[in-house]
């Protein structure tokens, strides 16, 4: 007899919109957490291109989805996600998710959605008006989560409100039509937010202050050397400020040896170490973090491998989604209505 541990493992779903390559901020903010969680959970990863459409829907955006989807999967694999355990899937290849979302729509009010600050933030950041699709973003996300009946959803703070909506929808569906869905838990990552190379804002590709996980060693070094530091520090012997200095914020996150970091901080504040020396150290630290990931990336970069993973995962989730939709329709009585009409039509027809 073989032991099947997957049968007793709880299921989690998380994922990203395919809007660009992942960077160090994602590594600290979500990827490391995902890698940890795969030991305990059956891990499903959505490539949420339908969610991307809620703010970015030009043909140019859409034309990039497959390349960016591959990129997301490679980033995840390079960070330590194990391909044999994980299920990666492309949301837009599962049209039934729209049907599922449609069946949920009557269980939430427009005003509940209009009151979500996270949605207004997304509209503002993307510089778009609130479309019907964007208003429905949390319902679509709920459809994702409920389609695979995930028990757990590891997401960042910006997504908590959406999973709250999912929890309400699951409870409402269950109490109105019968127990179908587990009410999913949010798994909060205890992750710090990583500041960008500009030292001012959260790391983000669109702000051009990011180091991509796929950047090579020379690019990393160049970006670190150009990083913002203490602007008042015109010479090495001028005492510098550690507080709010992104170079030290990154060292706190990535350096393996806090004693050495503290020594750099002390010397920086005393004016006995130059920015260049600290940055040399930081660039090595970051490259030491990325180097094993580069090796993993190379092993998974053989042609077709990532596409096969996505294809396999998407087929699996499509079948699961079709089953879930069927169970919902049955619980709601919709299959019964159609069956009775069909049967009567057969009986009365000549």
Q: Which residues bind ligand TRP (CB under 6 A)?
A: 13-17, 46, 48, 51, 141, 144-145, 153, 155, 159
Q: Toward ligand TRP, which CB reaches closer, 14 or 209?
A: 14
DSSP run (H or E) holding 72: helix 65-79
Q: Toward ligand TRP, which CB reaches closer, 184 or 240?
A: 184
Taking Cα atoms as reference points, which of 269, 7, 16 lies closest to residue 155?
16
Minimum distance, C-beta of residue 208 to ligand TRP, in the bound complex (Å): 20
Q: Toward ligand TRP, which CB reaches closer, 43 or 224?
A: 43
Taking Cα atoms as reference points, which of 242, 212, 215 lies closest to residue 229?
242
Q: Which residues contact 283 (CB under 8 A, 6 or more apart)?
A: 220, 221, 224, 225
Whether the Cβ atoms of residue 131 and residue 54 lie closer than 8 Å to each other: yes
For CA atoms 14, 316, 37, 104, the dihedral sign is positive
> Tell me, what DSSP letter sits at residue 301?
-
Taking Cα atoms as reference points, which of 72, 74, 88 lies closest to residue 293?
74
Minimum distance, C-beta of residue 80 to ligand TRP, in the bound complex (Å): 19
Q: Toward ligand TRP, which CB reaches closer, 90 or 247?
A: 90
Q: Which residue is nearest to ligand TRP (CB)?
A: 48
Taking Cα atoms as reference points, which of 118, 122, 143, 137 lies closest to residue 13?
143
Minimum distance, C-beta of residue 50 to ligand TRP, in the bound complex (Å): 8
Minimum distance, C-beta of residue 164 to ligand TRP, in the bound complex (Å): 13
Q: Toward ligand TRP, which CB reaches closer, 159 or 262?
A: 159
Minimum distance, C-beta of residue 118 to ligand TRP, in the bound complex (Å): 9
> Tell me, what DSSP letter sits at residue 212?
B
Minimum distance, C-beta of residue 210 to ligand TRP, in the bound complex (Å): 16
Minimum distance, C-beta of residue 165 to ligand TRP, in the bound complex (Å): 11
Interatomic CA distance for residues 88 and 72, integer angstroms: 10
Q: Toward ligand TRP, which CB reaches closer, 52 or 331?
A: 52
Residue 331 CA: distances (Å) to CA of 13, 81, 173, 334, 337: 24, 36, 9, 8, 12
Q: Toward ligand TRP, which CB reaches closer, 101 or 286?
A: 101
């Amino acid at each position: 007899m073989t032991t099947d541990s997957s049968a007793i493992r709880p299921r989690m779903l998380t994922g990203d919109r395919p809007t660009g390559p992942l960077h160090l901020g994602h590594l600290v903010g979500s990827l490391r957490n995902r890698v940890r969680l795969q030991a305990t959970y059956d891990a499903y990863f959505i490539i949420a291109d339908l969610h991307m459409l809620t703010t970015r829907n030009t043909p140019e955006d859409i034309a990039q989805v497959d390349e960016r989807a591959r990129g997301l999967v490679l980033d995840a694999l390079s960070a330590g996600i194990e391909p044999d355990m994980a299920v990666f899937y492309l949301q837009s290849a599962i049209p039934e998710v729209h049907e599922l979302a449609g069946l949920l729509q009557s269980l939430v009010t427009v005003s509940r959605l209009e009151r979500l600050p996270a949605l207004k933030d997304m509209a503002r950041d993307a510089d778009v008006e609130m479309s019907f699709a964007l208003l429905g973003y949390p319902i679509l996300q709920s459809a994702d989560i409920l389609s695979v009946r995930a028990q757990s959803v590891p997401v960042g703070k910006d997504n908590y409100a959406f999973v709250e909506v999912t929890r309400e929808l699951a409870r409402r569906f269950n109490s109105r039509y019968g127990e179908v869905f587990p009410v999913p838990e949010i798994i909060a990552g205890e992750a710090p937010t990583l500041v960008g190379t500009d030292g001012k804002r959260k790391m983000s590709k669109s702000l051009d202050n990011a180091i991509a996980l796929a950047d090579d060693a020379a690019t990393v070094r160049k970006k670190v050397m150009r990083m913002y530091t203490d602007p008042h520090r015109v010479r090495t012997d001028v005492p510098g400020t550690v507080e709010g200095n992104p170079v030290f914020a990154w060292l706190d996150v990535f350096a393996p040896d806090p004693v050495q970091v503290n020594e750099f901080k002390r010397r920086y504040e005393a004016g006995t170490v130059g920015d260049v020396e600290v940055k040399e150290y930081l660039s090595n630290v970051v490259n030491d973090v990325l180097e094993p990931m580069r090796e993993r990336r190379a092993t998974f970069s053989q042609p077709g491998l990532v596409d096969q993973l996505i294809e396999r995962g998407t087929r699996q989730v499509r079948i699961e989604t079709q089953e879930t939709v069927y169970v919902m329709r049955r619980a709601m009585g919709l299959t019964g209505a159609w069956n009775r009409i069909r049967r009567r039509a057969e009986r009365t027809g000549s």
